[in-house]
Structure 1
Amino acid sequence: MSRIVQFVRGILAKGPDKKEQNIINDLLSPEAQQAFYNMTVADQRHCLNVMKTAMDIATCRGLSDSIDMDFLKRCCLLHDIGRGPKMNSFRKVYGVLLDKFFHDWSINNSDKASDNIFKDIMYR
């Protein structure tokens, strides 16, 4: 059920609002901004949610004075840039299903990019 909810959220995801765009633009270099905005909207939303969660955890645990919060925010925003714009919600579903039902095959085909769509999904 959680995967279905995750899929629906990915399909309905909205990109950064104006406030979030300002945060992104303040934190990231132009090159990093380009990498962030090249991700799918669902991945952008996910990274923003990860950033919010990380900030909440750091604040609750009293760590916000002892760690570089801007560095943590940048890490959160950029942690999925390797997926690129091709890894949309439907391709992620294929990846999850391939890994679930053909785990050994998916592990063996995750080490390099490929012209084969399924191998490329596992690589990403």
Structure 2
Amino acid sequence: MNQFQVTPPEKFTFKSDDWPKWIKRFDRFLIASGLETQADENQVNALIYTMGEEAEDILVSLHLSPEEASEYDTVKGKLDAHFVARRNVIFERAKFNQRQQETGESAASLLRCIAWQSTADMGLCMTRW
């Protein structure tokens, strides 16, 4: 059987907007490289190392217990909370409710935009209609 080497994703930019795509790519790397079957501690070490030097400081700032710091899902969840800003649901609802079709905008484009906005913590709002 031929095996191939999987290179990890590039170092993380530490920009919040880049986090969702980067961590998704890293999760794919874990699977493709076989790291996902290894101990959580190895996965955490691979994550922090691949992210880059600044990740060490962020990990310390999260104040995790030694047990938490060695659990991949816990560390990933804390990093998610660190990098992904919470949305102002009231503001998002107002934007959603005021959205109108722009001149020259196709109906399909409008529907895609509305569908995208509806996924932005708007689930409860959508069920209330």
- Range of TM-score over shorter length: under 0.3
| TM, length-normalised to structure 2 | 0.23
Larger radius of gyration: 2
| TM, length-normalised to structure 1 | 0.23
Which structure features the higher share of helix residues? 1
